[in-house]
């Protein structure tokens, strides 16, 4: 079962997660859409554990997904719950509003009966979240002064320069 951690939930740490939870900030960026893109993730509260990468021609949505996918792959063997914090409503709402359940019921078609975009990234991401059972998602407003969100944004933008 998937759970949602809201920003006003009780029992949170200074980094925004429940006690004992690993809080991961993830972000994607794109210069042009499509265009060169970058993704990054970092472990709160200081971002000492992090990763980033990019692609020469991609979309912002793909980079947002790649950031979360990379983080979960890197933390796959780590025990305990994970809170993914993202400024992408596309990523967060898939889980908080359970869009993925409808996609599976409709054989990977969205509510308009069109093929789900970025299925190649969604499938392994949804599979990992379901298999772990302890991944939570929280939305943060982008470019609003959240230090960790600003850090992963800067890392994602820097990753674009490495693939140009």
144-154 tens-digit pLDDT: 999 999 999 99
- Alpha carbon separation from 115 to 59, 72, 96, 104, 112 (Å, rounded): 17, 25, 21, 11, 9
Q: How far apart are CA 96 and CA 79, in angstroms?
A: 22
pLDDT of 12 above 90: no
The model's confidence at residue 11, banded by pLDDT at 50, 70 and 90, is very low
98-153 tens-digit pLDDT: 999 999 999 999 999 999 999 999 999 999 999 999 999 999 999 999 999 999 99
- Of 16, 17, 64, 136, the active-site residue reads 64
Q: How far apart are CA 132 and CA 157, in angstroms?
A: 30
- Of 16, 17, 21, 27, the active-site residue reads 27
**Residue 94 is part of which domain span?**
3-163
Report the chain's mean pLDDT, rounded to a whole number: 90
CB 21 within 8 A of CB 136: yes
- Active site annotation includes 51: no
Q: How far apart are CA 4 and CA 46, in angstroms?
A: 23
22-30 and 50-58 strand pairing: unpaired
- Of 16, 21, 54, 153, the active-site residue reads 153
Q: How far apart are CA 6 and CA 2, in angstroms?
A: 13
Confidence (pLDDT) at 17 = 52
Q: In the numeric block, which tokens belong to residue 54?
A: 């990019």
- Active site annotation includes 55: no
- Of 17, 28, 53, 54, the active-site residue reads 28
31-80 tens-digit pLDDT: 999 999 999 999 999 999 999 999 999 999 999 999 999 999 999 999 99
Confidence (pLDDT) at 20 = 82
Q: How many domains does the chain have?
A: 1
CATH code: domain of residue 103: 3.30.420.10
- Active site annotation includes 8: no
Q: Where are the alpha helices (DSSP H) in 27-164?
A: 60-74, 89-96, 99-105, 119-132, 147-163
- Of 48, 114, 120, 143, the active-site residue reads 143
């Amino acid at each position: 079962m998937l759970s949602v951690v809201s920003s006003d939930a009780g029992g949170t740490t200074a980094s925004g997660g429940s006690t004992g939870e690993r809080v991961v900030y993830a972000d994607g960026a794109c210069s042009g859409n499509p265009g060169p893109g970058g993704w990054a993730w970092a472990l709160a509260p200081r971002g000492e554990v992090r990763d980033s990468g990019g692609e020469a021609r991609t979309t912002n949505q793909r980079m947002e997904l790649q950031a979360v996918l990379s983080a979960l792959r890197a933390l796959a063997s780590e025990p305990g719950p994970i809170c993914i914090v993202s400024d992408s409503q596309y990523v967060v709402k898939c889980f908080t509003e359970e869009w993925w359940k409808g996609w599976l019921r409709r054989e990977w078609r969205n509510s308009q009966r069109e093929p789900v975009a970025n299925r190649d990234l969604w499938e392994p991401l949804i599979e990992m979240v379901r298999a772990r059972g302890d991944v939570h998602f929280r939305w943060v407003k982008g470019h609003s002064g959240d230090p960790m969100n600003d850090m992963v944004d800067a890392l994602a933008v820097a990753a674009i320069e490495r693939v140009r």
